[in-house]
Structure 1
Amino acid sequence: MPRIPRLASTATAALALGLLAAAPAAGHEPTVTDAHIVTRFGLAAGRMPENIALERDGSADLTLAYARQVVHVAPDGATRTLATLPAVANPDTPLMHGAVVTGIVRAHDGTLYVNYATGTRKTGIWRVPGAGGTPVQIAELPQDGLPNGLALDERRGMLYVADSVRGTVWRVPRSGGRATAWAGGAALGPLPAPPANGYGANGIKVHRDAVWVSNSDRGTLLSVPIHADGSAGPVQQRAGGLEGIDDFTFPGHGNTVLAALNGTSKVVLVRRDGTHTVVLTQQDGLSNPTSVAVRGRSVYVPSAAYVTRQDPNLLLASLRYPAGRL
Protein backbone atom coordinates (compact mmCIF):
# COMPACT_ATOMS: atom_id res chain seq x y z
CA MET A 1 0.00 0.00 0.00
CA PRO A 2 1.33 3.46 -0.82
CA ARG A 3 1.77 5.90 2.01
CA ILE A 4 -1.30 8.10 2.46
CA PRO A 5 -0.34 11.78 2.53
CA ARG A 6 -1.98 14.26 4.87
CA LEU A 7 -5.21 15.67 3.45
CA ALA A 8 -5.47 19.29 2.45
CA SER A 9 -6.71 21.79 5.01
CA THR A 10 -10.43 22.13 5.61
CA ALA A 11 -10.60 25.54 3.98
CA THR A 12 -8.74 24.41 0.87
CA ALA A 13 -10.74 21.21 0.43
CA ALA A 14 -14.03 23.00 1.07
CA LEU A 15 -13.19 25.51 -1.62
CA ALA A 16 -12.25 22.68 -4.00
CA LEU A 17 -15.52 20.87 -3.39
CA GLY A 18 -17.57 24.02 -3.99
CA LEU A 19 -18.88 25.35 -7.25
CA LEU A 20 -15.65 26.34 -8.91
CA ALA A 21 -15.75 29.41 -11.13
CA ALA A 22 -13.68 29.49 -14.30
CA ALA A 23 -13.72 31.42 -17.52
CA PRO A 24 -14.85 29.55 -20.65
CA ALA A 25 -11.92 27.77 -22.24
CA ALA A 26 -10.59 28.38 -25.69
CA GLY A 27 -10.83 25.51 -28.15
CA HIS A 28 -7.24 24.37 -27.61
CA GLU A 29 -7.45 24.38 -23.82
CA PRO A 30 -8.32 21.28 -21.76
CA THR A 31 -11.95 20.79 -20.75
CA VAL A 32 -11.08 19.44 -17.28
CA THR A 33 -8.29 20.91 -15.16
CA ASP A 34 -6.88 21.17 -11.63
CA ALA A 35 -7.16 17.44 -10.88
CA HIS A 36 -6.15 16.37 -7.38
CA ILE A 37 -6.97 13.56 -4.96
CA VAL A 38 -9.35 14.49 -2.14
CA THR A 39 -9.09 11.28 -0.12
CA ARG A 40 -7.67 7.78 -0.36
CA PHE A 41 -9.09 4.41 0.68
CA GLY A 42 -7.68 1.11 1.94
CA LEU A 43 -7.28 -1.58 -0.69
CA ALA A 44 -6.60 -4.38 1.79
CA ALA A 45 -9.90 -3.73 3.57
CA GLY A 46 -11.85 -3.87 0.30
CA ARG A 47 -12.56 -0.13 0.47
CA MET A 48 -12.66 0.29 -3.29
CA PRO A 49 -14.97 3.15 -4.36
CA GLU A 50 -17.38 1.89 -6.98
CA ASN A 51 -20.10 4.50 -7.38
CA ILE A 52 -21.01 7.99 -6.23
CA ALA A 53 -23.94 10.24 -5.37
CA LEU A 54 -23.52 13.91 -4.49
CA GLU A 55 -25.02 15.90 -1.63
CA ARG A 56 -26.21 19.50 -1.96
CA ASP A 57 -23.23 20.86 0.01
CA GLY A 58 -20.70 19.31 -2.37
CA SER A 59 -19.96 16.29 -0.19
CA ALA A 60 -20.17 12.81 -1.67
CA ASP A 61 -21.69 9.43 -0.79
CA LEU A 62 -19.75 6.44 -2.12
CA THR A 63 -20.17 2.70 -2.24
CA LEU A 64 -17.03 0.77 -1.24
CA ALA A 65 -17.41 -2.47 -3.17
CA TYR A 66 -15.84 -5.34 -1.22
CA ALA A 67 -16.08 -3.60 2.16
CA ARG A 68 -19.89 -3.67 1.63
CA GLN A 69 -20.03 -0.11 2.89
CA VAL A 70 -21.72 3.17 2.04
CA VAL A 71 -19.59 6.11 3.19
CA HIS A 72 -19.90 9.88 3.30
CA VAL A 73 -16.94 12.08 2.30
CA ALA A 74 -17.28 15.57 3.76
CA PRO A 75 -15.97 18.72 2.04
CA ASP A 76 -12.86 18.58 4.27
CA GLY A 77 -12.10 15.03 3.07
CA ALA A 78 -13.19 13.34 6.30
CA THR A 79 -14.93 10.00 5.78
CA ARG A 80 -17.58 8.30 7.90
CA THR A 81 -19.52 5.10 7.38
CA LEU A 82 -23.25 5.49 6.74
CA ALA A 83 -24.13 1.81 6.46
CA THR A 84 -22.66 -1.66 6.07
CA LEU A 85 -24.57 -4.19 4.03
CA PRO A 86 -25.10 -7.53 5.84
CA ALA A 87 -22.51 -10.26 5.47
CA VAL A 88 -23.56 -13.27 3.41
CA ALA A 89 -22.42 -16.86 3.93
CA ASN A 90 -20.63 -18.22 0.86
CA PRO A 91 -21.33 -15.32 -1.52
CA ASP A 92 -21.03 -16.26 -5.17
CA THR A 93 -21.67 -13.18 -7.28
CA PRO A 94 -20.96 -13.85 -10.97
CA LEU A 95 -17.65 -12.33 -12.13
CA MET A 96 -17.01 -10.67 -8.75
CA HIS A 97 -16.86 -13.88 -6.64
CA GLY A 98 -17.82 -12.06 -3.47
CA ALA A 99 -20.46 -9.81 -1.96
CA VAL A 100 -20.17 -6.29 -3.42
CA VAL A 101 -22.12 -3.07 -3.11
CA THR A 102 -22.25 -1.30 -6.48
CA GLY A 103 -24.54 1.48 -7.74
CA ILE A 104 -25.87 4.30 -5.59
CA VAL A 105 -28.39 7.11 -6.07
CA ARG A 106 -29.68 9.83 -3.77
CA ALA A 107 -33.29 11.05 -3.74
CA HIS A 108 -34.19 14.69 -3.11
CA ASP A 109 -35.30 13.81 0.43
CA GLY A 110 -31.81 12.45 1.13
CA THR A 111 -32.69 8.75 1.01
CA LEU A 112 -29.99 6.59 -0.55
CA TYR A 113 -30.56 3.49 -2.66
CA VAL A 114 -27.78 1.00 -3.43
CA ASN A 115 -27.33 -2.23 -5.35
CA TYR A 116 -26.00 -5.22 -3.46
CA ALA A 117 -24.75 -8.29 -5.37
CA THR A 118 -24.19 -11.53 -3.45
CA GLY A 119 -25.22 -14.56 -5.48
CA THR A 120 -27.97 -15.11 -2.89
CA ARG A 121 -31.48 -13.81 -2.18
CA LYS A 122 -29.92 -10.72 -0.63
CA THR A 123 -29.03 -9.60 -4.16
CA GLY A 124 -31.11 -6.56 -4.97
CA ILE A 125 -31.81 -2.91 -4.13
CA TRP A 126 -31.36 -1.68 -0.57
CA ARG A 127 -32.53 1.56 1.02
CA VAL A 128 -30.24 3.50 3.38
CA PRO A 129 -31.33 6.53 5.47
CA GLY A 130 -29.62 9.68 4.25
CA ALA A 131 -28.03 10.33 7.64
CA GLY A 132 -26.94 6.70 7.91
CA GLY A 133 -28.48 3.70 9.61
CA THR A 134 -29.64 0.16 9.00
CA PRO A 135 -30.02 -0.76 5.32
CA VAL A 136 -33.28 -2.44 4.27
CA GLN A 137 -33.77 -4.57 1.17
CA ILE A 138 -36.67 -3.22 -0.92
CA ALA A 139 -36.37 -5.44 -4.01
CA GLU A 140 -34.82 -8.77 -4.90
CA LEU A 141 -32.91 -9.24 -8.17
CA PRO A 142 -31.78 -12.48 -9.83
CA GLN A 143 -29.06 -14.30 -7.89
CA ASP A 144 -27.24 -15.21 -11.10
CA GLY A 145 -27.02 -11.59 -12.24
CA LEU A 146 -24.75 -8.68 -11.39
CA PRO A 147 -26.72 -5.52 -10.57
CA ASN A 148 -24.21 -2.81 -11.33
CA GLY A 149 -25.29 0.76 -12.17
CA LEU A 150 -28.39 2.26 -10.54
CA ALA A 151 -30.52 5.22 -11.70
CA LEU A 152 -33.49 7.01 -10.16
CA ASP A 153 -36.38 8.62 -12.03
CA GLU A 154 -38.12 10.57 -9.28
CA ARG A 155 -40.76 12.01 -11.60
CA ARG A 156 -42.00 8.52 -12.45
CA GLY A 157 -41.08 6.99 -9.09
CA MET A 158 -38.88 4.32 -10.64
CA LEU A 159 -35.43 2.84 -10.10
CA TYR A 160 -33.49 1.33 -13.02
CA VAL A 161 -30.73 -1.25 -12.61
CA ALA A 162 -28.11 -2.26 -15.19
CA ASP A 163 -27.39 -6.00 -14.90
CA SER A 164 -23.93 -6.62 -16.37
CA VAL A 165 -24.21 -10.42 -16.60
CA ARG A 166 -27.77 -10.80 -17.84
CA GLY A 167 -27.59 -7.78 -20.18
CA THR A 168 -30.85 -6.48 -18.76
CA VAL A 169 -32.18 -3.21 -17.42
CA TRP A 170 -34.47 -3.94 -14.48
CA ARG A 171 -37.16 -1.52 -13.34
CA VAL A 172 -38.37 -1.36 -9.73
CA PRO A 173 -40.80 1.08 -8.06
CA ARG A 174 -38.94 3.44 -5.73
CA SER A 175 -41.14 2.20 -2.89
CA GLY A 176 -39.89 -1.31 -3.54
CA GLY A 177 -41.45 -4.51 -4.86
CA ARG A 178 -41.05 -6.81 -7.80
CA ALA A 179 -38.36 -6.15 -10.39
CA THR A 180 -39.46 -6.10 -14.04
CA ALA A 181 -37.15 -6.77 -16.98
CA TRP A 182 -37.59 -3.42 -18.74
CA ALA A 183 -35.03 -3.61 -21.59
CA GLY A 184 -32.67 -6.25 -22.97
CA GLY A 185 -31.17 -7.62 -26.14
CA ALA A 186 -27.74 -8.11 -27.66
CA ALA A 187 -26.76 -4.45 -27.47
CA LEU A 188 -27.02 -4.58 -23.67
CA GLY A 189 -25.45 -8.01 -23.29
CA PRO A 190 -21.85 -8.97 -22.55
CA LEU A 191 -19.43 -10.67 -24.90
CA PRO A 192 -18.15 -14.17 -24.08
CA ALA A 193 -15.48 -14.27 -21.39
CA PRO A 194 -12.73 -14.97 -22.25
CA PRO A 195 -11.55 -13.24 -24.39
CA ALA A 196 -13.89 -10.46 -23.23
CA ASN A 197 -14.56 -9.69 -19.56
CA GLY A 198 -18.22 -10.72 -19.49
CA TYR A 199 -19.53 -7.27 -18.49
CA GLY A 200 -22.42 -5.95 -20.55
CA ALA A 201 -24.73 -3.18 -19.30
CA ASN A 202 -22.84 -1.30 -16.61
CA GLY A 203 -23.41 2.43 -15.97
CA ILE A 204 -26.90 3.88 -16.17
CA LYS A 205 -28.61 7.29 -15.99
CA VAL A 206 -32.07 8.71 -16.65
CA HIS A 207 -31.76 11.73 -18.94
CA ARG A 208 -34.31 13.60 -21.04
CA ASP A 209 -37.01 10.90 -21.11
CA ALA A 210 -34.56 8.11 -21.83
CA VAL A 211 -32.48 5.61 -19.92
CA TRP A 212 -28.84 5.79 -20.97
CA VAL A 213 -26.66 2.72 -20.47
CA SER A 214 -22.99 1.90 -21.05
CA ASN A 215 -21.83 -1.53 -22.25
CA SER A 216 -18.31 -2.28 -21.02
CA ASP A 217 -17.48 -5.22 -23.28
CA ARG A 218 -18.80 -3.55 -26.42
CA GLY A 219 -17.40 -0.10 -25.59
CA THR A 220 -20.71 1.56 -26.37
CA LEU A 221 -22.97 4.23 -24.94
CA LEU A 222 -26.65 3.54 -25.53
CA SER A 223 -30.01 5.18 -24.90
CA VAL A 224 -33.45 3.63 -24.49
CA PRO A 225 -36.45 5.97 -24.84
CA ILE A 226 -39.10 5.88 -22.10
CA HIS A 227 -42.51 5.75 -23.77
CA ALA A 228 -45.50 7.61 -22.33
CA ASP A 229 -46.80 4.37 -20.82
CA GLY A 230 -43.42 3.71 -19.18
CA SER A 231 -42.35 0.96 -21.57
CA ALA A 232 -38.96 0.86 -23.27
CA GLY A 233 -38.36 2.02 -26.81
CA PRO A 234 -35.72 0.60 -29.15
CA VAL A 235 -32.09 0.65 -27.99
CA GLN A 236 -30.07 3.32 -29.81
CA GLN A 237 -26.27 3.53 -29.94
CA ARG A 238 -24.99 7.01 -29.13
CA ALA A 239 -21.23 6.36 -29.21
CA GLY A 240 -18.73 3.55 -29.74
CA GLY A 241 -15.01 2.92 -29.33
CA LEU A 242 -15.18 3.51 -25.57
CA GLU A 243 -13.07 0.59 -24.42
CA GLY A 244 -13.94 -0.56 -20.91
CA ILE A 245 -16.53 2.16 -20.30
CA ASP A 246 -17.96 2.05 -16.79
CA ASP A 247 -20.39 4.60 -15.35
CA PHE A 248 -20.85 8.15 -16.66
CA THR A 249 -22.68 11.42 -16.09
CA PHE A 250 -24.12 14.40 -17.95
CA PRO A 251 -22.26 17.59 -17.00
CA GLY A 252 -24.96 19.81 -18.52
CA HIS A 253 -28.51 19.67 -19.86
CA GLY A 254 -27.44 18.44 -23.31
CA ASN A 255 -26.29 15.00 -24.43
CA THR A 256 -22.58 15.50 -23.80
CA VAL A 257 -21.23 12.85 -21.40
CA LEU A 258 -18.24 12.44 -19.10
CA ALA A 259 -17.45 8.72 -18.88
CA ALA A 260 -15.01 6.61 -16.87
CA LEU A 261 -12.95 4.10 -18.88
CA ASN A 262 -12.03 1.61 -16.20
CA GLY A 263 -9.35 -0.58 -17.74
CA THR A 264 -7.30 2.23 -19.26
CA SER A 265 -7.69 4.63 -16.31
CA LYS A 266 -9.15 7.50 -18.31
CA VAL A 267 -12.09 9.86 -18.24
CA VAL A 268 -13.38 10.95 -21.63
CA LEU A 269 -15.70 13.69 -22.85
CA VAL A 270 -18.19 12.12 -25.28
CA ARG A 271 -19.72 14.70 -27.58
CA ARG A 272 -23.22 14.68 -28.95
CA ASP A 273 -21.94 13.40 -32.31
CA GLY A 274 -20.37 10.34 -30.63
CA THR A 275 -16.74 11.47 -30.88
CA HIS A 276 -14.72 11.61 -27.68
CA THR A 277 -11.64 13.23 -26.14
CA VAL A 278 -9.56 12.09 -23.17
CA VAL A 279 -9.73 14.70 -20.38
CA LEU A 280 -8.18 12.83 -17.39
CA THR A 281 -5.62 10.00 -17.20
CA GLN A 282 -3.60 7.92 -14.77
CA GLN A 283 -1.11 10.79 -14.59
CA ASP A 284 -3.86 12.89 -12.97
CA GLY A 285 -4.39 10.25 -10.26
CA LEU A 286 -6.92 7.87 -11.84
CA SER A 287 -6.60 4.20 -10.92
CA ASN A 288 -9.33 2.21 -12.71
CA PRO A 289 -12.05 4.90 -12.43
CA THR A 290 -15.53 3.49 -11.97
CA SER A 291 -17.91 6.46 -12.17
CA VAL A 292 -18.15 10.23 -12.61
CA ALA A 293 -20.31 12.91 -10.98
CA VAL A 294 -20.59 16.65 -11.59
CA ARG A 295 -21.93 19.50 -9.47
CA GLY A 296 -21.53 22.97 -10.93
CA ARG A 297 -18.01 22.92 -12.38
CA SER A 298 -16.68 20.33 -9.95
CA VAL A 299 -15.96 16.86 -11.38
CA TYR A 300 -15.72 13.91 -8.98
CA VAL A 301 -14.13 10.61 -10.05
CA PRO A 302 -13.88 7.54 -7.77
CA SER A 303 -11.16 5.02 -8.66
CA ALA A 304 -11.46 1.44 -7.38
CA ALA A 305 -7.99 0.13 -8.41
CA TYR A 306 -9.49 -3.23 -9.38
CA VAL A 307 -6.66 -3.98 -11.82
CA THR A 308 -3.86 -1.61 -10.85
CA ARG A 309 -4.15 -2.66 -7.18
CA GLN A 310 -2.78 0.76 -6.29
CA ASP A 311 -4.30 3.84 -4.69
CA PRO A 312 -8.12 3.59 -4.64
CA ASN A 313 -9.20 7.21 -4.26
CA LEU A 314 -11.65 10.03 -4.88
CA LEU A 315 -10.33 12.61 -7.34
CA LEU A 316 -11.67 16.11 -7.86
CA ALA A 317 -11.19 18.31 -10.92
CA SER A 318 -12.72 21.45 -12.48
CA LEU A 319 -14.75 21.96 -15.65
CA ARG A 320 -13.45 24.91 -17.64
CA TYR A 321 -16.67 25.20 -19.60
CA PRO A 322 -19.98 26.17 -17.96
CA ALA A 323 -22.20 23.12 -17.77
CA GLY A 324 -24.77 24.80 -19.99
CA ARG A 325 -22.36 24.76 -22.91
CA LEU A 326 -21.90 20.98 -22.78
Structure 2
Amino acid sequence: MSTTIELIGVPTDIGAGARGASMGPEALRVAGLIEMLKNHGLIVIDSGNLAGPTNPWLPPVNGYRHLAEVTEWNEALHEASYAALQKGHLPIILGGDHCLGIGSISAVARHCRATGKDLRVIWLDAHADFNTSELTPTGNIHGMPVAILCGHGPEQLIQIGGVVPAIDSDVVHQIGIRSVDEGEKRFVHQQGLEVFDMRYIDEHGMRETMARALDGMTDNTHLHVSFDVDFLDPAIAPGVATTVPGGPTYREAQLCMEMIADTGRLASLDIMEVNPACDVKNQTALLAVDLVDSLFGKSTLMRDAK
Protein backbone atom coordinates (compact mmCIF):
# COMPACT_ATOMS: atom_id res chain seq x y z
CA MET A 1 0.00 0.00 0.00
CA SER A 2 1.30 3.45 -0.94
CA THR A 3 2.36 5.87 1.76
CA THR A 4 0.07 8.88 2.10
CA ILE A 5 1.86 12.20 2.45
CA GLU A 6 0.02 15.11 4.07
CA LEU A 7 1.39 18.57 3.34
CA ILE A 8 0.72 21.18 6.02
CA GLY A 9 1.68 24.74 5.14
CA VAL A 10 2.51 27.12 7.98
CA PRO A 11 2.95 30.58 6.43
CA THR A 12 4.53 32.59 9.21
CA ASP A 13 7.84 34.26 10.05
CA ILE A 14 6.63 34.97 13.59
CA GLY A 15 9.72 33.52 15.30
CA ALA A 16 12.33 35.00 12.97
CA GLY A 17 14.41 38.14 12.94
CA ALA A 18 13.61 38.98 9.31
CA ARG A 19 10.43 38.83 7.25
CA GLY A 20 9.81 36.50 4.30
CA ALA A 21 9.75 32.87 5.51
CA SER A 22 5.95 33.21 5.57
CA MET A 23 6.14 32.82 1.76
CA GLY A 24 8.05 29.54 2.03
CA PRO A 25 5.11 27.10 1.72
CA GLU A 26 4.01 28.52 -1.62
CA ALA A 27 7.60 28.66 -2.91
CA LEU A 28 7.95 24.92 -2.21
CA ARG A 29 4.69 24.16 -3.98
CA VAL A 30 5.74 26.29 -6.98
CA ALA A 31 9.06 24.40 -7.03
CA GLY A 32 7.19 21.17 -7.79
CA LEU A 33 7.14 19.43 -4.42
CA ILE A 34 3.75 17.78 -4.98
CA GLU A 35 4.60 16.51 -8.47
CA MET A 36 7.94 15.13 -7.26
CA LEU A 37 6.30 13.20 -4.43
CA LYS A 38 3.67 11.76 -6.76
CA ASN A 39 6.44 10.57 -9.08
CA HIS A 40 7.55 8.30 -6.20
CA GLY A 41 4.14 6.61 -6.27
CA LEU A 42 3.07 8.39 -3.11
CA ILE A 43 -0.45 9.58 -2.41
CA VAL A 44 -0.27 13.32 -1.69
CA ILE A 45 -2.87 15.29 0.24
CA ASP A 46 -2.23 19.03 0.31
CA SER A 47 -4.10 20.28 3.37
CA GLY A 48 -3.38 23.88 2.44
CA ASN A 49 -2.08 26.43 4.90
CA LEU A 50 -2.89 26.83 8.57
CA ALA A 51 -4.19 30.20 9.72
CA GLY A 52 -2.76 32.20 12.58
CA PRO A 53 -1.94 35.68 13.85
CA THR A 54 -0.12 38.16 11.66
CA ASN A 55 3.40 39.22 12.55
CA PRO A 56 3.18 42.35 14.74
CA TRP A 57 6.93 42.99 14.34
CA LEU A 58 7.50 44.07 17.94
CA PRO A 59 10.61 43.96 20.14
CA PRO A 60 11.17 41.13 22.66
CA VAL A 61 9.42 41.15 26.03
CA ASN A 62 11.26 39.36 28.88
CA GLY A 63 13.58 37.68 26.40
CA TYR A 64 10.90 36.39 24.00
CA ARG A 65 9.70 37.99 20.80
CA HIS A 66 6.05 37.47 19.80
CA LEU A 67 5.54 34.78 22.45
CA ALA A 68 1.73 34.77 22.30
CA GLU A 69 1.70 34.57 18.49
CA VAL A 70 4.42 31.88 18.41
CA THR A 71 2.35 29.85 20.87
CA GLU A 72 -0.82 30.16 18.79
CA TRP A 73 0.89 29.05 15.57
CA ASN A 74 2.62 26.11 17.24
CA GLU A 75 -0.53 24.91 18.99
CA ALA A 76 -2.34 24.91 15.64
CA LEU A 77 0.53 23.05 13.96
CA HIS A 78 0.72 20.52 16.79
CA GLU A 79 -2.94 19.62 16.40
CA ALA A 80 -2.76 19.42 12.59
CA SER A 81 0.39 17.32 12.60
CA TYR A 82 -0.87 14.97 15.31
CA ALA A 83 -4.15 14.49 13.42
CA ALA A 84 -2.17 13.55 10.28
CA LEU A 85 -0.07 11.03 12.23
CA GLN A 86 -3.18 9.50 13.79
CA LYS A 87 -4.53 8.88 10.28
CA GLY A 88 -1.33 7.02 9.40
CA HIS A 89 -0.13 9.81 7.14
CA LEU A 90 3.45 11.07 6.81
CA PRO A 91 3.23 14.80 7.55
CA ILE A 92 5.50 17.21 5.71
CA ILE A 93 5.49 20.64 7.35
CA LEU A 94 6.11 23.51 4.94
CA GLY A 95 7.56 26.43 6.89
CA GLY A 96 7.67 29.10 7.87
CA ASP A 97 10.47 29.75 10.32
CA HIS A 98 12.05 27.08 12.51
CA CYS A 99 10.19 28.01 15.71
CA LEU A 100 7.57 25.72 14.14
CA GLY A 101 9.73 22.75 15.08
CA ILE A 102 8.10 23.08 18.51
CA GLY A 103 4.62 22.24 17.26
CA SER A 104 5.77 19.68 14.73
CA ILE A 105 8.14 17.64 16.90
CA SER A 106 5.96 17.81 20.02
CA ALA A 107 3.21 16.21 17.90
CA VAL A 108 5.58 13.48 16.69
CA ALA A 109 6.72 12.85 20.27
CA ARG A 110 3.10 12.59 21.42
CA HIS A 111 2.41 10.13 18.59
CA CYS A 112 5.45 8.04 19.56
CA ARG A 113 4.31 7.89 23.19
CA ALA A 114 0.84 6.77 22.08
CA THR A 115 2.14 4.08 19.72
CA GLY A 116 5.21 2.87 21.63
CA LYS A 117 7.63 4.06 18.94
CA ASP A 118 11.22 5.17 19.57
CA LEU A 119 11.75 8.73 18.34
CA ARG A 120 14.91 9.81 16.51
CA VAL A 121 15.23 13.44 15.34
CA ILE A 122 17.78 14.43 12.69
CA TRP A 123 18.13 18.22 12.93
CA LEU A 124 19.76 19.67 9.78
CA ASP A 125 20.70 23.26 10.52
CA ALA A 126 23.48 25.83 10.67
CA HIS A 127 22.32 26.67 14.21
CA ALA A 128 21.86 24.60 17.36
CA ASP A 129 18.60 26.46 18.18
CA PHE A 130 19.21 25.82 21.88
CA ASN A 131 18.88 29.34 23.23
CA THR A 132 16.78 30.44 26.19
CA SER A 133 15.44 33.86 27.20
CA GLU A 134 18.52 34.33 29.38
CA LEU A 135 20.99 33.32 26.66
CA THR A 136 19.47 34.73 23.48
CA PRO A 137 21.04 37.85 21.96
CA THR A 138 17.86 38.58 19.96
CA GLY A 139 14.77 37.10 21.63
CA ASN A 140 13.84 35.44 18.33
CA ILE A 141 12.17 32.13 19.17
CA HIS A 142 13.37 30.42 15.96
CA GLY A 143 16.69 30.19 17.83
CA MET A 144 15.09 28.26 20.73
CA PRO A 145 12.97 25.30 19.51
CA VAL A 146 15.31 22.46 20.53
CA ALA A 147 15.75 23.91 24.02
CA ILE A 148 11.98 24.37 24.34
CA LEU A 149 11.29 20.80 23.20
CA CYS A 150 13.77 19.64 25.86
CA GLY A 151 11.84 21.55 28.54
CA HIS A 152 13.80 24.81 28.73
CA GLY A 153 11.49 27.69 27.94
CA PRO A 154 8.21 29.45 28.72
CA GLU A 155 5.42 27.37 30.21
CA GLN A 156 2.99 27.83 27.32
CA LEU A 157 5.51 26.46 24.80
CA ILE A 158 7.15 23.64 26.75
CA GLN A 159 3.77 22.13 27.62
CA ILE A 160 2.49 21.88 24.02
CA GLY A 161 1.80 18.18 23.63
CA GLY A 162 0.95 17.63 27.27
CA VAL A 163 4.26 16.21 28.56
CA VAL A 164 7.28 18.20 29.76
CA PRO A 165 9.83 17.81 28.35
CA ALA A 166 8.34 16.81 25.00
CA ILE A 167 11.59 14.99 24.15
CA ASP A 168 14.84 14.01 25.83
CA SER A 169 17.95 15.67 24.43
CA ASP A 170 19.46 12.30 23.51
CA VAL A 171 16.91 11.73 20.72
CA VAL A 172 18.23 14.76 18.81
CA HIS A 173 21.20 14.43 16.46
CA GLN A 174 22.26 17.74 14.92
CA ILE A 175 24.12 17.92 11.60
CA GLY A 176 25.93 20.85 9.94
CA ILE A 177 26.03 23.21 12.94
CA ARG A 178 28.39 26.16 12.53
CA SER A 179 26.82 29.11 14.38
CA VAL A 180 26.24 28.83 18.14
CA ASP A 181 26.01 31.77 20.54
CA GLU A 182 28.47 31.90 23.44
CA GLY A 183 26.04 31.14 26.28
CA GLU A 184 24.19 28.66 24.09
CA LYS A 185 27.47 26.81 23.46
CA ARG A 186 27.93 26.14 27.18
CA PHE A 187 24.28 25.09 27.55
CA VAL A 188 24.53 22.62 24.63
CA HIS A 189 27.57 21.09 26.33
CA GLN A 190 25.86 20.90 29.74
CA GLN A 191 22.79 19.19 28.27
CA GLY A 192 24.80 16.62 26.32
CA LEU A 193 23.23 17.40 22.94
CA GLU A 194 24.79 15.34 20.13
CA VAL A 195 26.11 17.86 17.61
CA PHE A 196 28.02 16.96 14.46
CA ASP A 197 29.31 20.41 13.57
CA MET A 198 31.03 21.39 10.32
CA ARG A 199 34.46 20.71 11.82
CA TYR A 200 33.38 17.13 12.51
CA ILE A 201 32.09 16.80 8.93
CA ASP A 202 35.33 18.32 7.59
CA GLU A 203 37.42 15.85 9.61
CA HIS A 204 35.35 12.68 9.19
CA GLY A 205 33.21 13.27 6.11
CA MET A 206 29.45 13.21 5.67
CA ARG A 207 29.32 9.41 5.33
CA GLU A 208 30.73 8.73 8.81
CA THR A 209 28.73 11.62 10.27
CA MET A 210 25.43 10.20 9.02
CA ALA A 211 26.39 6.62 9.91
CA ARG A 212 26.88 7.74 13.51
CA ALA A 213 23.74 9.89 13.60
CA LEU A 214 21.60 7.04 12.23
CA ASP A 215 23.23 4.22 14.19
CA GLY A 216 21.08 2.03 16.41
CA MET A 217 17.71 2.54 14.74
CA THR A 218 15.33 -0.42 14.61
CA ASP A 219 12.04 -1.31 12.94
CA ASN A 220 10.39 0.45 15.90
CA THR A 221 12.09 3.80 15.21
CA HIS A 222 10.07 6.80 14.06
CA LEU A 223 12.60 8.99 12.22
CA HIS A 224 11.77 12.69 12.03
CA VAL A 225 13.90 15.01 9.88
CA SER A 226 13.81 18.73 10.62
CA PHE A 227 15.43 20.39 7.60
CA ASP A 228 16.29 24.08 7.92
CA VAL A 229 17.54 25.17 4.51
CA ASP A 230 20.25 27.32 6.14
CA PHE A 231 21.88 23.91 6.78
CA LEU A 232 23.14 24.26 3.20
CA ASP A 233 26.01 26.46 2.10
CA PRO A 234 24.58 29.86 1.06
CA ALA A 235 26.48 29.61 -2.25
CA ILE A 236 23.88 27.03 -3.31
CA ALA A 237 20.98 28.13 -1.09
CA PRO A 238 20.83 31.94 -0.82
CA GLY A 239 17.09 32.04 -0.04
CA VAL A 240 17.30 32.15 3.75
CA ALA A 241 17.46 35.07 6.16
CA THR A 242 20.14 33.52 8.39
CA THR A 243 22.89 32.44 6.00
CA VAL A 244 26.14 31.15 7.52
CA PRO A 245 29.10 30.46 5.20
CA GLY A 246 30.76 27.07 5.15
CA GLY A 247 27.80 24.70 5.07
CA PRO A 248 27.48 21.34 3.34
CA THR A 249 28.01 21.27 -0.42
CA TYR A 250 25.42 19.96 -2.86
CA ARG A 251 27.01 16.50 -2.89
CA GLU A 252 27.38 16.35 0.90
CA ALA A 253 23.72 17.32 1.31
CA GLN A 254 22.67 14.70 -1.25
CA LEU A 255 24.62 11.98 0.57
CA CYS A 256 23.01 13.03 3.85
CA MET A 257 19.54 12.67 2.34
CA GLU A 258 20.37 9.43 0.52
CA MET A 259 21.65 7.78 3.70
CA ILE A 260 18.47 8.80 5.54
CA ALA A 261 16.43 7.33 2.68
CA ASP A 262 18.43 4.09 2.88
CA THR A 263 17.15 3.50 6.43
CA GLY A 264 13.55 3.31 5.25
CA ARG A 265 12.50 4.83 8.59
CA LEU A 266 11.52 8.40 7.59
CA ALA A 267 8.07 9.04 9.08
CA SER A 268 7.74 12.85 9.31
CA LEU A 269 9.52 15.88 7.88
CA ASP A 270 9.89 19.64 8.37
CA ILE A 271 11.13 21.93 5.57
CA MET A 272 11.86 25.26 7.23
CA GLU A 273 13.14 28.79 6.61
CA VAL A 274 12.77 28.98 2.82
CA ASN A 275 12.66 32.76 2.31
CA PRO A 276 11.75 33.83 -1.24
CA ALA A 277 12.48 37.47 -0.32
CA CYS A 278 16.17 36.53 -0.09
CA ASP A 279 16.20 34.11 -3.02
CA VAL A 280 17.12 34.20 -6.71
CA LYS A 281 14.46 32.76 -9.06
CA ASN A 282 13.24 30.33 -6.36
CA GLN A 283 16.50 28.37 -6.56
CA THR A 284 16.53 27.55 -2.83
CA ALA A 285 13.04 26.03 -2.89
CA LEU A 286 13.98 24.13 -6.08
CA LEU A 287 17.09 22.78 -4.33
CA ALA A 288 15.07 21.84 -1.25
CA VAL A 289 12.66 19.87 -3.45
CA ASP A 290 15.61 18.19 -5.19
CA LEU A 291 17.03 17.11 -1.82
CA VAL A 292 13.66 15.91 -0.55
CA ASP A 293 13.46 13.87 -3.76
CA SER A 294 16.60 12.05 -2.55
CA LEU A 295 15.12 11.77 0.93
CA PHE A 296 12.30 9.74 -0.62
CA GLY A 297 14.63 7.48 -2.53
CA LYS A 298 15.84 9.13 -5.72
CA SER A 299 19.21 7.63 -6.69
CA THR A 300 21.49 7.53 -9.71
CA LEU A 301 21.62 3.72 -9.83
CA MET A 302 19.60 0.83 -8.44
CA ARG A 303 21.27 -0.14 -5.19
CA ASP A 304 20.97 -3.25 -3.07
CA ALA A 305 19.37 -2.75 0.34
CA LYS A 306 21.95 -2.37 3.08
Same fold per superposition (TM over 0.5):
no
TM-score for both structures, normalised by structure 1: 0.30
TM-score (normalised: structure 2): 0.32
Greater relative contact order structure (CA < 8 Å, 6+ sep): 2
- The answer to which structure has the higher strand fraction is 1
